[in-house]
Structure 1
Amino acid sequence: MKRLIVAIDGPAGAGKSTVARLVAQELGLTYIDTGAMYRAVAWKSLQLEQLTEDRVARMMQETRITLESTESGSLVYVDEVDVTSQIRTSEVTAHASFVAKIPQVRQALIEMQRQMANSGVVMDGRDIGTHVFPNAEVKVFLTASIEERARRRYDEMKEKGLPVDYEKLKEEIGARDHADQNRTHAPLRPAADAHHVDTTGLSISNVVEEILQLCRTKLGAGE
């Protein structure tokens, strides 16, 4: 597999992480979950009670985030501490929107993300195709109805034994959408040349196959 950068963007709960991980496995590429990186910053911020933009920005100067790919997803480490499960709580989810708006946080994480993509990579997030890798060979924008996204997140959290309320999830996802779409730095929006996929009612395998076909077409055109 030649070097290929696949950028998958979209709002919370659109299925980006699951789809991106499976696409990376099929193509033999590295998978990077950038959303987990912002959650990791949010987790550390809450743990240390660094809750203002200035304090979080200073905290980032002494923060190391690493990801380890596994068949079931990514293990997330903050300063060598495994925080994979801790970063999936509602409190961290809500705080991630706040830290994601801080320019110093975004710049630090973007530098980390670009360093991780020395070889071929599948990376999902909210500004991968527009900001992190604007020259990515394949750009995809995934979306789904807010009801569908809340249901998926509800099922995921129930399966993990976490306390969850469906209506509250809908509210949180709606608030996250608004924050992501209206932030000053790198707001959530599809790249002009992104391929749009509405995953509402689609199976994971159908979405994965559609993206794989895009990748095959791109690789074939480059040969």
Structure 2
Amino acid sequence: MTIIAVDGPSGSGKSSVSREVSRRLGLAYLDTGAMYRAVSWICLERQADGADAVAELARTADLRISTDPDHEQVVIDGHDVTTEIRETRISESVTIVSTNLAAREALIARQRALIEAAAETGIVAEGRDITTVVAPDADVRLLLTAREEARLARRAKELHGEADEHNIASTRAQIIDRDAADSAVTQFITASDGVHTLDSSALSFEETVQAVLDLVADAG
């Protein structure tokens, strides 16, 4: 079983890079951030009131997520929310789940189960605390990062099609504010012992993917 654990801040490219690495290596792919977004969606739908209600939904909602890198699908309590969880309202509210320690504990248990279920194929799992909490014994552990201006430009282009001054400004809250909130409950800004750091600020997408593949090859 090959496990590759990837952490990183918003806009670092960890999702797109991890997905491509999983394709090229024939591994499963787990976007743990989509799980937090899905629970955020159900909390908004159910008008969950308070931290206990949020944690309860994280524990009990029927959450299903595809680990096929070529088939993105997230379903919660029978609702296909694959597209909806990428909406701005979810990006702006996901910290109600990601900063809730009890909700995190519930989702971490789900993530570990999904990784274990991929024992035959191996998996690339990416998110916030994958290298330190979810899969600290992974074969390859990587912190994928980039300078703030590069991350803002990437996310603005992804969301709005162009990284002009206005789009970057409107994206800042989703990137910087969420990272600041999440950093209070999880470590993803600096690499822990044994975790490789890859700064993709000056790298193209292909160069970043290749750098990760090289780390995997070096790990044997």
Q: Give TM-score, length-normalised by structure 2.
A: 0.89
Distance 2:58 2:35 in 1: 12
Stretch of structure 1 that moved more, 110-119 or 61-70: 61-70
Deviation at 1:181, TM superposition (A): 1.4
Q: Which residue of 2 aligns with 1:182?
A: 184
The aligned amino acid for 2:187 is: P
Q: Which residue of 1 aligns with 2:147?
A: 145
Q: Which residue of 2 aligns with 1:210?
A: 211
Distance 1:24 1:103 in 2: 29
Query: Residue 17 of structure 2: which of 16, 19, 23 is its match?
Result: 19
Q: Deviations over 1:112-158 (max 9, x none)?
A: 11111121110000100011011111011011122221221222223
Q: Which residue of 2 aligns with 1:98?
A: 96
1:67 pairs with 2:80: no
Q: Which residue of 1 aligns with 2:35?
A: 37
Secondary structure of 1:11's aligned partner: coil
Q: Deviations over 1:67-119 (max 9, x none)?
A: 12455562111123210111112221121122111122111111111111121
Distance 2:55 2:69 in 1: 33
Deviation at 1:50, TM superposition (A): 0.7
The aligned amino acid for 1:143 is: T
Deviation at 1:187, TM superposition (A): 3.5
Distance 2:84 2:61 in 1: 17
Q: Give TM-score, length-normalised by structure 1.
A: 0.88
Stretch of structure 1 that moved more, 186-195 or 30-39: 186-195
Secondary structure of 1:182's aligned partner: coil
1:71 and 1:117, CA in 2 relative to 1: closer, same or farther beyond 3 A?
closer
Residues 21, 73 of structure 1: 8 Å contact kept: no
Residues 142, 197 of structure 2: 8 Å contact kept: yes
Question: What percent of counterpart residues are identical?
Answer: 36
Q: Which residue of 2 aligns with 1:191?
A: 192
Query: Residue 156 of structure 2: which of 142, 154, 173 is its match?
Result: 154
Secondary structure of 2:183's aligned partner: helix
Secondary structure of 2:142's aligned partner: strand
Give the aligned length: 211
Within-5 A mapping of 1:168-179: 168-179=170-181
Deviation at 1:170, TM superposition (A): 1.5
Q: Deviations over 1:165-191 (max 9, x none)?
A: 4202113311112112122xx333422
Runs of at least 5 residues in structure 1 that lack an aligned partner in the other structure:
none
Stretch of structure 1 that moved more, 67-76 or 36-45: 67-76
Runs of at least 5 residues in structure 2 that lack an aligned partner in the other structure:
none
